[in-house]
Amino acid sequence: DIQMTQSPSSLSASVGDRVTITCRASQGISNYLAWYQQQPGKVPKLLIFAASTLQSGVPSRFSGSGSGTDFTLTISSLQPEDVATYYCQKYNSAPWTFGQGTKVEIK
């Protein structure tokens, strides 16, 4: 099975900072990659699909890039409401594996 590895596992940044989270697939998955945000105590929310397509209603400070094995989620200007754990997920074939998550906190 293809493994999904996120880095870092956690990070702390200041409001307004640019934040980058990476996700690496152990084999190529084309652009079948999604990013989800899970705020504390809340349900996961789809942010980005097809590696770089922003889901409707998601703020434009979020962006995604990559193809094949290496992917990136960027928050251009971190806001207090962005405190959350972020997960990548592959969906090109079974199993629909999630990364282990990246916890984002405000410094």
Partner 1 sequence: EAQLLESGGGLVQPGGSLRLSCAASGFTFSSYAMSWVRQAPGKGLEWVSIISNSGGSTYYADSVKGRLTVSRDNSKNTLYLQMNSLRAEDTAVYYCAKSYGSGSLMRAFDIWGQGTMVTVSS
Phi, psi of 81 (to 5 degrees): -75, -5
Is residue 94 part of the contact set for partner 1 (CB under 8 A)?
yes
Is residue 76 part of the contact set for partner 1 (CB under 8 A)?
no
Residue from 31, 67, 83, 98 that binds partner 1 (CB under 8 A)? 98
Sheet with 62-67, edge to edge strand ranges: 4-7, 19-25, 70-75, 62-67
Q: Is 82 helix (H, G, I), strand (E, B) or coil?
A: helix
**What's the closest the beta carbon of residue 85 comes to partner 1, in angstroms?**
8
Is residue 101 part of the contact set for partner 1 (CB under 8 A)?
yes
Interface with partner 1 by CB under 8 A: which residues? Answer: 1, 32, 34, 36, 38, 43-46, 49-50, 55, 85, 87, 89, 91-101
